[in-house]
Chains A and B, each alone.
Chain A
Amino acid sequence: MDLLKRLSLNKYRVDRESHIKVNLDICRTCKEKPCIKVCPAGTYERSGDVIEVHYERCLECGAALVACPFDAISFKFPEGGVSFRYG
């Protein structure tokens, strides 16, 4: 099953503002962009030199927070966000 279909199975209450902020000045200098590889939800997508953040997809695992080698991602848990029915 493709990723967006899998994500659509989850219950989300999306916050108005993104709980993830990216420092684009630093992001622009990063070639590898490991956030794209480690995020299981496809929250980070390449957009030219930088990253576009689809925070509404986030599964709140925190992988991007630890994987960014330049600390360019500031991640706080959302007030709403995802709720699991099975977990």
Chain B
Amino acid sequence: MSYDADVIVVGGGLAGLSAAIQANREGLSTLVLERGEYSGAKNVSGGRMYVHALKELVNIEDAPFEKPITKETYVISCGTRRVTFSFSDPESRNSYSVLRAKFDPWLAKKAEEEGVIISYETLVSGAMRDNGITLRTNRGDLRAKIVIEADGVTAGVSRYLGLRNLSPDSLMLGVKEVIKPDVISDEGEAKVLVGFVDGLLGGAFSYVNKDTISLGATVKVNSLQSERVLARDLVELVREKLGIEGDILEYSAHLIPYYGYDKLPPVYAPNLLITGDAAGLLINDGFVIRGMDLAIGSGMIAGRAAKKILDQGDPTKTQVYEEMLNDSFVMKDMIIARRAFSLMNNERLFNAYPEILCSVLSRMFTVSGNRQRLLNVLIEEIKKRDLTLTETVKDLMEVL
């Protein structure tokens, strides 16, 4: 039985295109299968990319970014009260707002210019291991020595091979609108909202684009299962909360991997390298939420690893990919974020702490002739929620 390519990459998003560009540069015959009409047609992201990995991959001078993110705003909300914290750095060019249906076709074109073959509207509906991996597609069966899985958070190939089940407590649902406001701010502001709907574990975001705003809610799937708030109402609730008005241009949704380093699914199997969202690669350390740079980074490493594996003569022995990932920023940063990540997964962060913060500030800004020290107010409010100061400080230390 012959092979259709050395490497078949499933998914023509950021991870898949990065993998294919790299594998192609290594001289491997490489084929990308993309189920959308174009790269990005099926992608939904919050809309912010940290660009260090992309710069390693390609020249970004003509990249279709929206705006450089130069202002970070945190909004901690409890009922009608809110605390806002902003940091502004007008010179920052470290991350940009992006719209994936514009960005991914640009990267796909770069890949195609280098000779990568992308087969669009090709849907993978099954996978079998047989001295390589055979993929069942709407264009017939395709067989490769190595498959690089870059098919996103639902990890179809892994599921078809029986390597993965999806669990609601390791996933968030993101629901998003792209809005054209009457007036758009010059500044590329990223806003994160913590604790926006009672009972739901999650938050919300908005990013300023060139002439639109990306706005969304992100909520743990298991908290949606048990609460009364419907997913279809989330983004409109956020819009009201943030007071954003304008024409809605698009409504979309996507699952977000929320595994953390300690619960990551395996990133390799015989003949299979798993990248990006499919590998559960996402970092939330309280300061930044990153997925796209990890997708690009892991994709590039998978492309290089494929060459090493094939040179060693046995495409079932794929562990070297994990070793290379562990040596790279991808896993090093995942490990640094592991403690903060477990806190980000904790109910206290979404419910108790916003309330404590709002209550403490509310009491400190109220003068009633019965003034207490800030520390005493803080301890009282912490105790009211069955927590201790030690637990609170310990949680804070996790992030630090």
Contact = CB atoms under 8 A, between A and B. Distances in A.
A61 B253 contact: yes
Given A9-B249, A77-B156, A87 B255 contact: no
Contact of B231 (A37, A84, A86): A37
Contact of B212 (A34, A37, A86): A86
A83 B153 contact: no
B35 A77 contact: yes
A67 B156 contact: no
Nearest to A35: B225
Interface stretch (A20-28, A39-47, A48-56): A39-47
Given A40-B231, A59-B253, A63-B253, A83 B42 contact: yes
A77 B123 contact: yes
Interface stretch (B108-116, B170-178, B328-336, B390-398): B170-178
Contacts, number: 126
A63 to B, nearest CB: 5
A38 interface: yes
B166 to A, nearest CB: 4
A39 B248 contact: no
A78 B124 CA distance: 10
Interface in A1-30: 1, 3, 6-7, 9-10
B252 A87 contact: yes
Interface string B98-126: 01111010000000000000000101010
Contacts of A39: 231-232
Interface of B is mostly: mixed
Interface centre among A9, A61, A83, A87 (most CB of B within 10 A): A87
B252 A37 contact: no
A65 B154 contact: yes
A87 B44 contact: yes
A84 B100 contact: yes
Nearest to B231: A40
B240 to A, nearest CB: 12
Contacts of B225: 32, 34, 37-38, 67, 69
A39 B219 CA distance: 12
B326 interface: no
A81 B195 CA distance: 33
Contact of B154 (A1, A6, A62): A62
B230 A83 contact: no
14 contacts: A3-B232, A37-B228, A39-B231, A40-B173, A40-B232, A62-B153, A65-B166, A67-B221, A77-B35, A79-B121, A84-B100, A85-B249, A86-B252, A87-B45
